[in-house]
Amino acid sequence: MSVLNNNNQSKTELQQHDYEQLVHSVVDYALFMLDVSGKIISWNPGAERIKGYKASEIIGEHFSRFYTPEDRDAGLPESVLRQAAENGRFTAEGWRVRKDGSRFWAMIAVDPIWRAGRLAGFVKITRDMTEQHQAALAAIESERRFRLLVQGVTDYAIYMLDPKGYVTNWNTGAQHIKGYSAEEIIGEHFSRFYTAEDREQRVPWKALETAEREGRFLAEGWRVRKDGSRFWASVVLDPIRDDDGTLIGFAKVTRDLTERREAQLELERSQQALFQAQKMEAVGQLTGGLAHDFNNLLTGITGSLDLMKARLAQGRIGELERYIIAAQGAASRAATLTHRLLAFSRQQTLEPKAIDANRLVSGMEELIRRTVGPSIAIETVLAAGLWTSYCDPNQLENAILNLCINARDAMPSGGRITIETANTWVDDAGAAQRDMPRGQYIAICVTDTGTGMPADVLARAFDPFFTTKPTGKGTGLGLSMIYGFAKQSGGQTRIYSEVGQGTTVRIYLPRHQGEATDEVVEDDRRELPRAEAGETVLVVDDEPTVRMLIADTLADLGYRAIEAADAASGLRVLESDATIDLLITDVGLPGGMSGKQMADVARVRRPTLKVLFITGYAENAAICTYSASHSRWTSSPLASAR
């Protein structure tokens, strides 16, 4: 029995030793023991580190010295021991005092020690939580300041939503912008700020889905105030997640941009008005130039006709030829002017072919040399492996020749003209800069060493009838014609110029995937076909002079001509029993029925009727012709007959 008692005593002493080693190894916590009255009876290194007292200084002292004077006066230390004994544990946080008088924020736990049913003392654990407490206070202060800041903002509606979109808080700005007080709106769904149309299309709910999925939702649109009025708003919707990534709500910021939007709309209206004024100014310049040039041309035509009439009356027939030549020359210049106008408006009739621009430039070189004269040096730099392009070769020749003539006029004392070709790729940035589609192009550049153009002249270079040449020396349609030709061909034209350094004009034409077509020049001088016996042609045109000229020309060739001024008159002839071998009709006719519609009706009664369309409008130059074998119209380009 004595041996057993000795063994139990040894085990108890060993456990006590292990416990004391464990307690003395802890430095982050103050672990010490109190007797029943609260006097300290043990002290570990953690207590010395946290509170500043050595064991020899503090054992035997009352633990109340660690409390602030305010807490001691309030009897807090005694209350702590009493509650620990009554409740089995006491825990709290509060300010405590170190040996040097400084205070620290402590988290404490006090446990009673019972032996044989009697209170024998207390174990006290203290942890220094000053840094955590200060961080918590800083967070609370930051939150308080943020809340005050948010509440003080009146230009922005800043509020929170729960995960389903119900309002959970509301700032002053939200009340100012939307009209609801916090008491009225908290707990309501934010969709009430949206228009009825947006709610029908579920825009609010889609906004929440987008914000949750993509991390943010941004938009502008109409929103509705409490009084039903609408305002233009910019909105930002951000999801809020906890530390685990779980969605706990949304932060929403709304700004009233109604005034800015109205100002922007007013600016756009002003810009449109300015554009309209500039357009009307351009139209005025265009019509003025047309009136001036056509007045001169008509003077040449009508004057020649008047003198021809006078000479006929006088019997001076031998003098008619000079006036005929003068009238024909004026009419030819009028046709050229019309052609250039159509080119500028991109409505001319083109005959595009797959061309080799190098071959075309080489073929023109001698003509250009003769045109510009010996004082101008001509240099060609033709790219190897130049791509094929698809355009009207005659129009391209005219464009290059016009540019060389302009270059010659800019170098009155002589100089050099360089004609270059190159393959070029226009990317998205270049396309936006040059106002053309991205893609592959050939570029044809004509550069001179002439006087160059100042910025104000360069800005108007493509304007119709704008010219810096003296009166009578130019129509001002050369560059505008080149611009129109390039745009109609799917390309672009750009000018680069510097005063005293010269000018470069670059024509871009789209690349064509195919081989160049060899040019074949056909002789158009051929015998006009004469009528066979009894052939009759119906001529339908609302212009009496045109009808007369066509009818007289047909009569000279042996045809019988029947004239009609509109589609209704023409149909009466076509629905009669008269023999009609050919219908010649203007595309655009008065009375609500076009020449094509009239031909469609006539084909029902006369399915084999041959039709020739004529027009003075370039946009009608490519029309549909009828295939009798397939009973349908097919595309067929026709040159203007006027």
Query: Of 494, 510, 526, which one is at a domain's C-terminal end?
Result: 510
Distance in angstroms (rounded) separating the CA atoms of residues 324 and 326: 5
Q: Give residue 392's pLDDT band: very low, low, confident or very high (50, 70, 90).
A: confident
In a domain, 531, yes or no: no
pLDDT value of position 340: 57
What angle is formed at CA 531 by the lines to CA 525 and CA 537, rounded to 5 degrees?
105
- Look up residue 156 and give its two tokens: 């922005």
In a domain, 382, yes or no: yes
In a domain, 599, yes or no: yes
Judge if 161 and 120 occupy the same domain: no
In a domain, 525, yes or no: no
CATH number reported for the structural domain that contains residue 157 in this entry: 3.30.450.20
pLDDT value of position 513: 85
Closest by Cα among 587, 594, 633, 589 to 612: 587
Judge if 457 and 584 occupy the same domain: no
pTM above 0.75, yes or no: no
What does the buried/exposed string (b/e) look like for 363-397 if buried means 16 or more CB atoms within 10 Å of the residue's CB?
A: ebeeebeeebeeebebeeebeeebbbbbbbbebbb
Judge if 212 and 73 occupy the same domain: no
**Average pLDDT for the chain:** 80
Judge if 10 and 111 occupy the same domain: yes
In a domain, 138, yes or no: no
Closest by Cα among 423, 400, 390 to 489: 390
pLDDT value of position 548: 78
Q: Kindly report, residue by residue over 582-633, the tens digit of the pLDDT.
A: 999 988 888 888 888 899 998 888 889 999 988 765 444 444 444 333 334 4
Q: Kindly report, residue by residue over 229-243, the tens digit of the pLDDT.
A: 999 988 899 998 988
Judge if 168 and 282 occupy the same domain: no
pLDDT more than 90, % of the chain: 32
In a domain, 612, yes or no: yes
One-letter amino acid of 539: V
Judge if 500 and 360 occupy the same domain: yes
Judge if 315 and 182 occupy the same domain: no
What angle is formed at CA 559 by the lines to CA 557 and CA 562, rounded to 5 degrees?
135
pLDDT value of position 67: 94
Query: Of 228, 256, 284, which one is at a domain's C-terminal end?
Result: 256
Total structural domains in the chain? 5
In a domain, 148, yes or no: no
In a domain, 529, yes or no: no
Judge if 177 and 312 occupy the same domain: no
250-279: average pLDDT: 78
Please identify which residue in the block is written with the tokens 């300010």. Answer: 95
CATH number reported for the structural domain that contains residue 484 in this entry: 3.30.565.10
Judge if 359 and 480 occupy the same domain: yes
pLDDT value of position 624: 47
Domain span at 84: 2-128
Q: What are phi and psi of 614, to 5 degrees?
A: -130, 155
Judge if 633 and 596 occupy the same domain: yes
Q: Give residue 290's pLDDT band: very low, low, confident or very high (50, 70, 90).
A: low
CA end-to-end distance (rounded Å), the chain? 142
Q: Kindly report, residue by residue over 469-523, the tens digit of the pLDDT.
A: 544 444 445 677 788 788 888 888 888 988 888 999 999 999 988 787 755 444 4
- Look up residue 570 and give its two tokens: 């023409």
pLDDT more than 70, % of the chain: 77
Judge if 278 and 197 occupy the same domain: no
Query: Of 217, 233, 256, which one is at a domain's C-terminal end?
Result: 256
246-256: average pLDDT: 89
Judge if 196 and 281 occupy the same domain: no
Q: What are phi and psi of 93, to 5 degrees?
A: -130, 145
pLDDT at 9 over 50: no
pLDDT value of position 515: 80
